[in-house]
Structure 1
Amino acid sequence: HYLPAINKVFLWTGIVIIVLVVSIFHNFIGFSIPIIVSLVSTIWGLGFCGLIGMTLDPLMLVLPFLVGARALSHSVQTTQRWLEEYEKTGSKLDASYNTLERLFLAGLSAIITDAGGFLVLVLARIPCIQKLSLLCTFWILAIFITASAGGPLLSIYLPAPKKIRIGGLGLFEKFLSKIANMSISRKGAMTIIILFVLAGIVGGYYTNKVAIGDIHPGSPILFPDSKYNIDVAEINKRFDSAGVDTMNVVVNGVANGIEMPPVLYKMEAFTDAMKRGVSAVSGSQCIINIVKKLNQEFHEGDPKWYVIPDSILATGTYILMYRSTGEPGDFNVWADHKFTKGSIRIFFKNHLAETIKNGLKVAKQFLYQYPEMLQRRFYDEVYRNLIEKYPDIGKQHFVVRLTKNVCEFDMEKFLEYMKTKKASLIKDPKFIKEFPELYSKKNLVKKYPKILKMSMREFVDTYPQAVSEMKLIDKDEFMTPERYGAAQFLLCGGTIGVLAAINEEIEWSQVGTLLLIFVMVFILCASAFRSVWAGITLTVPLVIANLVAFIYMVFKEISLDVDTLPVFAIGVGVGVNYGIYIISRFREEYENELDINKAIKRGVSTAGLGVVFTAVSLIIPVLLWYWFSQIKFQADMGILLAFLLFFNMLGALLFIPAVCAYFRPKFITLGHE
């Protein structure tokens, strides 16, 4: 529905970028090379997307667009340097040769670092992010051919520029000159470093306050007043026992297990626990509602009979009657044709992160505590029946069999051990070593103290008489898991289940993936400049920029999810591009000047121009998303990306020059100092 509007926003964004590039470079080569390179890299990237059979979600269109914009960033740097070299030499061939010679390693380092950051996203255990990671990695690597190498080579065959002077250069030069003067002074450099570190500390404090998952009702990608969100609110308001979000639970047993009363008891207990424990739960849908209603109707509509019968004959009859009235396949929503698997659908009023977390907590807590009910039911129902049928077997044998069904450990090994050892079950350390399942897997020792705290002598004495009847018990219907309600509940599907899995993965990826991206950037930058200090200098401003972005996310109530996580990877890549080109120019200028302050000032005024041009060409267009996009996600990402681009620009123009001027690292001075 919104795809045409999204495409329209991207179209106008592209037009604005072209206008800005043309207004900055007042010559054909200046504005045509970045535009051509961006278009070619976009075609390559989308072609690779089709080659691997990847479909682009409308929300994900922001990422390919920004990777294409990354090509613009590299191309602006190389084009600006080409024009500078052409102004010096007057030869297109010499300008292209000098540009490739001076920027080849810087461009290669920046692109490999970009690609490494994207490749780390493969570790996020979400298929769509993994595919996106491979796409963006290939796309970034292709930029080296199209932008870093292809741009200068293409310039040879285009008409020579008649006007080299860049539009608005005087204003930019004054701005960059003031920044450079501030950075090279000891007091100014220390002030800049302290301010950046303080910003990082404040951002680090707000990191834990960033929400994982949705924090507003309805769809987070749409504005609150969108038709969809208004309709969702109205549905939840009008229907008390329903909701637009569901948690689906599969009940797994044996053939005809779903008809057995104990299994139905457990399903009923589960739905009751969810209604009591989660305020956002409005109702449920499962086979027990039908069984209870038919039981009531067959007792003259008396409300007191709105219960599950304790006879499998009654429950099976009711289910058969209901099933026979529908069309083929109608009953599949309740159970399969063998009654081996059933379903429970829990309706939720919203899918807020807190609601999902609470819903899973209540569901898991119920399944963890349900064996306590199982123990009581065993004494009340199962034991009385079995002791009459199998008089040679004492209580312990039934307990052992029940424990085996619950804990699923090696029964033969257990019986052999019991036959040869005469010791207290709890106190015998050898037993603990042999059967750790009782203590660790489900901690039955804690759950069943009355059962397990007993002497083994009675068991050993009665074992020979009991062993034959134990084999009969294995086949007895009373000892099947379904008999005492031990059918397996598989959590969970539906909207709530899918979002819960995504939120859990994002919670890990938030720290793990971003941390690995920063580590990857550090290693690649340190390797490129053969200096650990260079890796630190380039990585720290990226970390600070992302931490400060978390502050913005907290105050604007933007949560981390599967759509926003990759945006941070793009922000990291943009920042490291700026820094690598700046530092490379510092090193180059220092070789000529042998004065670090002059090298920094010259580097900021030259490579800094490319940083400013790139930032301006991207910040202004993405800011337009906030005012013109009909998608809340796109509008939020426009502001967030503009924020990241701006702060990364400040890091490259302020923090990196300040660190280099204050500490005078050897990777800049090349050992001359």
Structure 2
Amino acid sequence: MHSPDRSTANHAGALDDFDRHSGSLLERALFNHRLVVLLICAVLTAFFGWHATRLKLNASFEKMIPTAHPYIANYLTYRSELSGLGNAVRLAVVSKSGSIYDAKYLDRLQRLNDDVFLLPGVDRAFMKSLWTPSTRWVGVTEDGLEGGPVIPEDYDGSRGTIERLQRNVERSNEIGQLVARDQKSSIIYIPLLSTTSDGKPLDYSALSAELELLRTKYSDDVTDIHITGFAKMVGDLIDGLQQILAFFGVALVITTAMLYGYTRCVRSTVLVVLCSLVAVVWQLGLLPLLGYELDPYSVLVPFLIFAIGMSHGAQKMNGIMQDIGRGMHRVVAARFTFRRLFLAGLMALICDAVGFAVLTIISIKVIQDLALIASIGVAVLIFTNLILLPILLSYLGVSKVAAVRSLREERDEDAGLQQPLLWHVLNLFTQRRWATVAVLVSAVLAVAGFAISLHLKIGDLDPGAPELQPNSRYNRDAAYLTEHYGASSDVLAVMVKTPDQGCSNVDTLMRVDQLEWELGQIPGVEATNTLARLNRAVSIGLNEGNPKWYDLINSQNMANTITAGAPRGLYNETCSLLTVYAYLSDHKADTLARVVEAVEKYAAVYDTKEVKFLLAAGNGGIEAATNIVVKKANRDMLYWVYGAVILLCLLTFRSWRATVCAVIPLVVTSILCEALMVALGIGVKVATLPVIALGVGIGIDYALYVMSILLARMRAGDSLSDAYRVALRFTGKVVLLTGITLAVGVATWSLSPIKFQADMGILLAFMFLWNMVGALVLLPALAYFLLDGKKDNSRIAPDVVRVEESDRAQSMPTANLM
């Protein structure tokens, strides 16, 4: 390592002798007007802090679905005619007496039905239970077909009317749908509107709270309540945010403690944490000003911004601490560190922003909002952690003991003492033998990981709500409904568009009947229901119940008669839309894919100019469309994020060799992360799709900081080994610190009751650690083969980092530490 001239170093470190007009225009504008910058930041913090109190937390059903996809466009076009398919709540009322045919139970069900009817946001026209007039029965008597409401018109709670109710239920075809197969519970089906009667967006948190109040009110020795549906799931997610905030607090304590354990300096630790929190405050304050809300997915973004801020802040703090330890005045140390690391930090943050920004290519609003919210946070970090932190440290400096400790390895080397074992081990990867081993092991891991990642599934892999833990109250409720009802709550509906008054056309019903039969043969389809099926059932009824007549009669008059008395859920008011219901065993990606493929093939053959089979409605149809969008976006997203990162690295390093060294470790980590998802049974879905892109965007930070110093030292004439040793001391040990600290911080999320947060915690912890290992092990190994002794070194990054000042200051005596 080249030793600088001591007299030059002493001259550069003195504040009185420092040229205030040196450095870039940006540096002079900031550091020559430090007080003005601090006042502006203080005013902005107060302003954004006040606006952050106005930030709302909510969710939107429409934001969770890919509204631009043709399936969803079809659903939204006909949503008002689809009997509430889509966003709905199912409330199962269980009789503790053993049967729903009990006067106390039925009275309780009626009162609960009336309470639910008055809830804000309920689509009352399509609400359904035993007590709604739309729930009807049809039966065959000596006088022909008869029917009416399931609840007898003269119902008075007497034994006779209850027995008639039981007969009506048995003839209503509702057992397995509104009534449990064991007839010990019944469902109140509650379709929801996107807005309330006053035009405001539906508040899912408030609705969930109202449902919980009803659960509490009606859960006693007579009835028990189970609730499922998107609104309830989101409500439970929002309720769990208090625990998310607790995990945020735990992560903050862990990162603060580990940073202090590294620096042993209270003031610098507090400043790094403070500036990272200021970034979060600015971000949260900007959101209501821009008209945004937090949702259960983007609520995790502020912690990511805090984590990124801690990483960059620790780098700035470490650089200033070392320069002060060499004898520089704190103002000079802050300016020199700003010169060396601002561009590297800026490019790293731009890479972070790109990692978030590419998520906007996914046509799901909740992910696009997450991308924008995160990009705002990253932009804020440029001011709070790249500018505000160095200026604050230029005023307060660091403790004398901490500054001296930061140069311990350098002083030990000058004194001929043994270097830390970890530094010695890591430096081995700049030598041929260990570099070869690192590259070969990485190649083997990448190939094995890629083979495993081929089994990565798209969509949900678990029953119930995969966003919540399997033992959560919601998933226990969902398991109850699945166990006790023949037709599950997972429904995929096919819309059959016909001309007005054409839904009862016999030819159309024949085609619908054939599609229904084909759907019934698909594994995972438990039951189906269509107007054609009703025609078959009525045909039996008209022929003394003889099953031989279970067929579609080729009679237009008969079809018209049956259609006139059919429930509206099977067709719309203008008889221009039929609905084919497929009740699924689950909403796993494979199940949905099989059904979608069968319908697409059928439509390709039997669609005509007047009759078209359109996908898709129901929660199964919506999830199928979401899976299709996610599958396509998964690869597109990676291509875009890696393309942008490679371009930014080329602009930063001005060397394709250095870019390869920086990017290959990220690729290996991405591959291994997908393999981990396969091993843990985590599918690619809305909640996990952003993780790999975020891991790439954040992971490049480590490589940028290490490579910037490595290239600068090699440009100055150092060997690869000496250059890497300097990089380890100056930025590498902070990469090690932040990688471990952030991984430990997010690993605590694995204990969260919200499963997608637990999944994100595990995946992000893995990516933080492996990106750190890649930057400290694989990067120097690749540099041995691509950079060491290559002519390309003479052209590497002439403007990336300016280390001349650091070179001159390297051997400065300790002075001006306060």
TM bracket (short chain) = 0.7 to 0.9
Q: Could you report, residue by residue, the CA deviation over 1:527-553 in whole angstroms, capped at 9, with x for unpaired residues?
A: 111111122111111001111112222
Counterpart of 2:753, as a letter, is: Q
Taking the aligned partners of 1:166 and 1:496, their CA distance within structure 2 comes to 63
Deviations, residues 579-598 of structure 1 (Å, cap 9, x unaligned): 11111112333455633321
Greater CA deviation, 582-591 or 142-151? 582-591
Quote the Cα distance in structure 2 between the aligned partners of 1:76 and 1:320: 73
- 1:452-491 equivalences under 5 Å are 481=610, 487-491=611-615
Kindly state the Cα deviation for residue 93 of structure 1 after the two structures are TM-superposed: 0.9
Of 322, 326, 338 in structure 2, the residue corresponding to residue 88 of structure 1 is 326
Q: Aligned partners of 1:528 and 1:542: how far apart in 2?
A: 17
- 1:246/1:347 contact within 8 Å kept: yes
Do the aligned partners of 1:587 and 1:670 also contact (CA within 8 Å) in 2?
no
TM-aligned CA deviation for residue 604 of structure 1 = 1.3
Matches within 5 A, 1:178-197: 178-197=424-443
Q: Is the 8 A contact 1:295 1:318 kept in 2?
A: no
Amino acid at match of 1:314: M
TM-superposed CA distance for 1:221, in Å, is: 2.5
The alpha-carbon distance between structure 1 residues 575 and 668, as it changes in their structure 2 partners (threshold 3 A), is: farther
How large is the Cα RMSD of the aligned pairs?
2.6
* Aligned position for 1:256: 501
Contact preservation (8 Å) 1:250, 1:489: yes
For residues 233-282 of structure 1, the C-alpha deviation after alignment (integer angstroms, 9 at most, x for no partner) is: 33223322x01101011111111111222222222221111011x12111
Closer, same or farther: CA 296–169 of 1 in aligned 2, 3 Å: farther
Shift in alpha-carbon separation, 1:291–1:27, aligned structure 2, 3 A? same
| Aligned position for 2:514 | 269
Question: Given the alignment of the two structures, is residue 352 of structure 1 paired with residue 588 of structure 2, yes or no?
Answer: yes
How far does the alpha carbon of each residue in 1:316-336 deviate from its partner, in whole angstroms, 9 at most, with x for none?
22333456xxxxxxx3x2322
Q: What CA distance in whole angstroms lies between the structure 1 residues aligned with 2:512 and 2:492?
A: 14
**In 2: Cα distance, 1:43 partner to 1:291 partner:** 62
Q: What is the TM-score of this pair, normalised by structure 1? A: 0.76
Q: Is the 8 A contact 2:711 2:796 kept in 1?
A: no
1:581 paired residue number: 705
Question: Is the Cα contact below 8 Å between 2:278 and 2:384 reproduced in 1?
Answer: yes
Judging changes above 3 Å, is the alpha-carbon distance between structure 1 residues 640 and 342 closer, same or farther for their aligned structure 2 residues? same
Counterpart of 1:367 (choices 603, 627, 641) is 603
CA distance in structure 2 between the aligned counterparts of 1:43 and 1:20, rounded to whole angstroms: 23
1:600, distance to aligned residue in structure 2 (A): 1.2
Of the three residues 601, 607, 632, the one matched with 2:731 is 607
Give the distance between the partners of 2:747 and 2:358, measured in 1 at CA: 28
2:754 to 604, 628, 631: 631
Over 3 Å counting, the alpha-carbon distance change for 1:671 and 1:208 in structure 2 is closer
Report 1:312-323 matches (<5 A).
312-322=556-566
- Corresponding residue for residue 231 of structure 1: 477
Amino acid at match of 2:436: M
**Structure 1 Cα separation of the partners of residues 512 and 395 of structure 2:** 75
1:339 offset after TM fit, Å?
Answer: 0.9
* Cα displacement (A) at 1:85: 1.5
Structure 1 residues 89 and 350: alpha-carbon distance in aligned structure 2, compared to 1, 3 A threshold: same
**In the alignment, which of 332, 339, 350 is matched to residue 575 of structure 2?**
339
Deviations 1:485-516 (A, max 9, x none): xx211111222222212222222222221122
How far off is 1:167 after superposition? 8.0
Distance 2:436 2:406 in 1: 31
After TM superposition, give the deviation of residue 555 of structure 1 in Å: 1.6
1:531 aligned partner, one-letter code: S
**How many residue pairs align between the two structures?**
549
* Matching of residues 232-311 of structure 1 within 5 Å: 232-240=478-486, 242-276=487-521, 278-311=522-555
Q: Which digits, 9 at most, give the CA deviation of each residue in 1:169-205, with x for residues without a partner?
A: 9799725412343122221222222222222222222
- CA distance in 1 between partners of 2:403 and 2:744 (Å): 23
Do the aligned partners of residues 125 and 634 (structure 1) sit closer, same or farther apart at CA in structure 2, a change above 3 Å counting? same
Map 1:426-465 to 2 at 5 A: none
Determine the structure 1 residue equivalent to 2:132: none
Paired-residue identity, %: 28
CA distance in 2, matches of 1:115, 1:20: 26
Structure 1 window deviating more from structure 2 (283-292 vs 496-505): it is 283-292
The Cα offsets for residues 143-166 of structure 1, whole Å up to 9 and x where unpaired, read as: 111111221012223365343258
Q: 1:166 to 1:567 in 2, by over 3 A?
A: farther
Give me the whole-angstrom Cα distance separating, in 1, the residues matched to 2:666 and 2:342.
Answer: 23
Conservation of the 8 A alpha-carbon contact between 2:449 and 2:671:
yes
Residue of structure 1 in register with 2:99 after alignment: none
Provide closer, same or farther for how the CA distance between residues 135 and 667 of structure 1 changes in structure 2, counting only shifts above 3 A: farther
Contact 1:295 1:308 in 2 (8 A): yes
Judging changes above 3 Å, is the alpha-carbon distance between structure 1 residues 601 and 9 closer, same or farther for their aligned structure 2 residues? Answer: same
Note the 1:490-505 alignment, pairs <5 A. Answer: 490-505=614-629
Name the CA distance, whole Å, in 2 between partners of 1:528 and 1:281.
Answer: 55
- For structure 1, the residue ranges without an aligned partner over 5 or more in a row are 324-330, 372-405, 409-480, 482-486
8 Å CA contact 1:597, 1:661 repeated in 2: no
1:526: Cα distance to partner? 0.7
- Which residue type is aligned with residue 282 of structure 1? E
Asked whether 1:521 is paired with 2:645, we answer yes
Q: Does residue 273 of structure 2 align to residue 28 of structure 1? A: no
Report SS of the residue matched to 2:326.
helix
1:284 CA drift (Å): 2.2
User: Is residue 521–residue 535 contact of structure 1 (8 Å, CA) maintained in 2?
Assistant: no
Structure 2: runs of 5 or more not aligned: 1-235, 411-418, 798-818
> Comparing 5-14 with 601-610, which one deviates more in the overlay?
5-14
Amino acid at match of 1:367: A
In the alignment, does 2:359 pair up with 1:114? no
TM value normalised by structure 2 = 0.63
Give the Cα separation in 2 of the matches to 1:270 and 1:597.
69
Matched, 1:220 2:466: yes
List, as ranges, runs of 4+ consecutive aligned residues in structure 1 with deviation greater than 6 Å. Answer: 166-173
Aligned residue in 1 for 2:302: 64
1:509 aligns with 2:633: yes
- Distance (Å, rounded) in 1 between the aligned partners of 2:348 and 2:791: 20
TM superposition shift of 1:607: 0.8
What's the CA shift for 1:669?
5.4
Paired letter, 1:196 = S
Q: Counterpart of 2:249?
A: 11
Alpha-carbon distance in structure 1 between the residues aligned to 2:441 and 2:408: 28
Residues 592, 364 of structure 1: alpha-carbon distance in 2 compared, 3 angstrom cutoff = closer
More displaced 10-residue stretch of structure 1: 208-217 or 523-532: 208-217
Equivalent residue number for residue 677 of structure 2: 553
2:289 corresponds to which letter in structure 1? Answer: L
Match of 2:519, as an amino acid?
A: M
Give the residue type in structure 2 aligned to 1:581. Answer: Y
- Alpha carbons of 1:197 and 1:62: their partners in 2 closer, same or farther (altered >3 Å)? same
Aligned to 1:244, the other structure's residue is in SS state coil
> Does the aligned pair in 2 maintain the 1:222–1:632 contact within 8 Å?
yes
Matches within 5 A, 1:72-83: 72-83=310-321
The DSSP-based 3-state class of the residue aligned with 2:579 is strand
Give the letter for the 2:677 counterpart.
M
Matched AA of 2:554: D
